[in-house]
Structure 1
């Protein structure tokens, strides 16, 4: 029987035709996604669901989807899909992360022109018959310094377009290596340097704990007087109230925003201020982008339903069903190893070296590599997946090397991950025990045996008496309960490490209390995905 796909949002007719040409039965009901009750009633009939943003795929919908195998989102954001529920149900969630890049980058450039020449206000004034030619004095882009925060996919395109406009481009991106920056023709700088020098600042980073309010009041105060700020990335990257105050004071000469901290944005501190250009999240709103993502999602879903190929999946590795049965625990271990190093590394990564030993060396190393790289990159981009992670790494100039060898140690198999930066090398190794649970077995060359949990704490210290007591007592006094405790040391009296599995995330008070003891060189909370 041919697979059945429901398209419940407005998608290009060309996407519908792709399904038909591949022999897939397709039901095109572009308004059905708005009727959650009707969707709930019919979803059990389909193997695939193709959506945009209007359809809300809730836990209730997924629970009723007895035959559903794949959800394809034409676009990047999948906030309208309950991914956890989909994973538990065994439903793959795919997106199309690269279809909107050109369009979003071009919108940022357009917004930069608009705010530089006050085009919306000048247009409104002219339409009103005022002819206020002397009122709208603009600035040229040529020769100005553009500060790009985030030089990944979209940011990299903006850098390229800005150089074509004869702008000087400085970029802040912790994951941008010097070699890649040189190839892009941009100057790699720290954030404070960018704030001090940039005439225009444009943001192209995801919204994470690290990037939320990256342009908060303190950083905005460091900007050059007369700066103009463009945000076509994510709401919440800029403190809008603080920016409004600086616009009113004249320190910031203008702003152009396509995204807001609350959307739909019916009111905002930036609204109705002079020389502030606002658009309703139009970054991906071009005919070409909508067509691209629709065609991509149809191809990806058809490939999975007919051939079992997994592309741009957010909740499943790229591998065959047969491989998944054996590799599942190793894929999880690979992700955990990458996540550990990713959370521990703040400077740009030049290379990632992955060693596979024993039984794991005979598995699908491409899929395992993707899992390691995705784990590393998630700190900078939570939306990265196993398919897009290698592309992101390549774009950032990170070299990936893989070595596989026959069993050489006490374990039937293990994975060792090493990252290389300008300052250091950092490594971690792990294995999978017979119970299928990943374990960390070595950090920085120090042997350990640590169970991996969702909430962990990593500390380093000199091997001196009293450290264990101080660690346990301080955590206990600050309400942090230890589920598991692993210690290791290089030599007696030398470097020592501890890895603790906690019941809850480490609270700020406990972290500060540990740091205040003066006994620890590092106190690092870590988070690992349990699924």
Structure 2
């Protein structure tokens, strides 16, 4: 029997937007995918709706918004790769209901963000930005006023996840004391100490940095009341999400010199593309570093992100694995040299798995491997049989006809 896959790889169309790294294209190519269209810019509106028609795999970064209307137009779409950390730009639930898996790269730019945070802490504690601007204008300010070493200072980390914990290790190498606060219990790295509450961290820290996702609980978590707890000699850094900090309250605290300085890389409202105007109440304030959402924008991070997300997309297309998908149950089975493999995504309901198994039992086919997982709404099963014989297409047709089916695929038959 000739090997057969769900769709010949040269016919699988991949669209990569927003200048996704070459590492992604290289990995797709090594896996046998050749029909790849690349665009350096984001697409929106009608342009995006037209572009996604007939596309099987879509790659985006943070500026392309995949709405329900876009998903409706994407008549062949099976997966979206967000080549970044966040997935807020995708209608995740609506994608899942259409059988479109969404993958991202939650860890690949961890080092880049951690390094930027430390660099900003040094710049703020030394007052480098204002002295640099003065020197550019012909001034010469050699004063040591409000200029401090990192060694011996206390770093307070809000959110002790992948970025926060790595930052913790790097900060200790500077000789800093490290405290952290997280909504869940986390094992400390090195000599870091957990704080009982956020207020205690804010009162004791010389540098406060926040590394939390955007959730209903974190939006606006740093406002006037929280900033009022900080030392007048302390600095504040946000390289996480723009909505977690009240920037008007932060601007007021800086103008009134209730804190020493701030570095902000993310904002509640950001331009959609390079060259669009940017406005913030933090502009023009002394000892404030403003950067255009570049925390993860290093060549190394983009290469890692390109490889990580494209690998997940290839695994999903080649084997049905959903490990790393943010909107589907997590399922993985290794590819096998013989037999046939099917996947079935469905609205979770009693009896679905038994009906799937019945399709094999009626044909006296042994199920060689099976993995099944559900979430609150969807169920996803990967099932394979070594002795598929000539029944692969008939089983696929039965799976697609089951009530509640969202998407069924014959991944391969060997």
TM-score category, normalised to shorter length: 0.7 to 0.9
8 Å Cα contact 1:116/1:138 also seen in 2: yes
1:296 alignment partner, one of 289, 300, 308? 308
Q: How many Å apart are 1:326 and its aligned residue?
A: 8.3
Aligned CA-pair RMSD: 2.7
Residue 71 in structure 1 maps to residue 113 in structure 2: no
The alignment of Structure 1 onto Structure 2 pairs a total of residues equal to: 338
Query: Which residue in 1 is equivalent to 2:258?
Result: 251
8 Å Cα contact 1:159/1:169 also seen in 2: yes
Report the CA distance shift for 1:38/1:245 in structure 2 as closer, same or farther (over 3 A): closer
Query: Which structure 2 segments of 5+ residues have no match?
Result: 1-7, 272-276, 333-340, 351-368, 381-402, 405-414
Q: How many Å apart are 1:69 and its aligned residue?
A: 0.6
Residue 143 in structure 1 maps to residue 149 in structure 2: no
1:93 alignment partner, one of 91, 102, 112? 102
| More strand as a share of residues | 1
Residue 185 in structure 1 maps to residue 185 in structure 2: no
Q: How many Å apart are 1:92 and its aligned residue?
A: 1.0
Query: Which structure 1 segments of 5+ residues have no match?
Result: 331-361, 373-385, 387-434, 437-531
The structure whose RCO (Cα within 8 Å, separation 6+) is larger is 2
Query: Which residue in 2 is equivalent to 1:195?
Result: 202
Per mean C-alpha deviation after superposition, the further-off stretch among 263-272 and 200-209 is 263-272
Residues in 1 aligned to 2:101 and 2:35: alpha-carbon distance in whole angstroms: 18
8 Å Cα contact 1:122/1:136 also seen in 2: no
Query: Which residue in 1 is equivalent to 2:235?
Result: 228
Per mean C-alpha deviation after superposition, the further-off stretch among 244-253 and 129-138 is 129-138
Residue 216 in structure 1 maps to residue 223 in structure 2: yes
Q: How many Å apart are 1:118 and its aligned residue?
A: 1.7
Q: How many Å apart are 1:33 and its aligned residue?
A: 4.1
Residues in 2 aligned to 1:154 and 1:115: alpha-carbon distance in whole angstroms: 20
Residue 305 in structure 1 maps to residue 312 in structure 2: no
8 Å Cα contact 2:19/2:41 also seen in 1: no
Report the CA distance shift for 1:276/1:41 in structure 2 as closer, same or farther (over 3 A): closer
Residues in 2 aligned to 1:112 and 1:196: alpha-carbon distance in whole angstroms: 17
| More helix as a share of residues | 1
Query: Which residue in 1 is equivalent to 2:139?
Result: 130
8 Å Cα contact 2:113/2:296 also seen in 1: yes
Query: Which residue in 2 is equivalent to 1:377?
Result: none
The alignment's TM-score, normalised by the length of structure 2, stands at: 0.75
What SS does structure 1 have at the residue aligned with 2:50? helix
Residues in 2 aligned to 1:245 and 1:54: alpha-carbon distance in whole angstroms: 30
Report the CA distance shift for 1:114/1:53 in structure 2 as closer, same or farther (over 3 A): same
Residues in 1 aligned to 2:74 and 2:342: alpha-carbon distance in whole angstroms: 24
What SS does structure 2 have at the residue aligned with 1:290? helix
Residues in 2 aligned to 1:212 and 1:41: alpha-carbon distance in whole angstroms: 34
Report the CA distance shift for 1:188/1:133 in structure 2 as closer, same or farther (over 3 A): same
Residues in 2 aligned to 1:250 and 1:32: alpha-carbon distance in whole angstroms: 41
1:56 alignment partner, one of 49, 65, 68? 65
Q: How many Å apart are 1:72 and its aligned residue?
A: 0.8
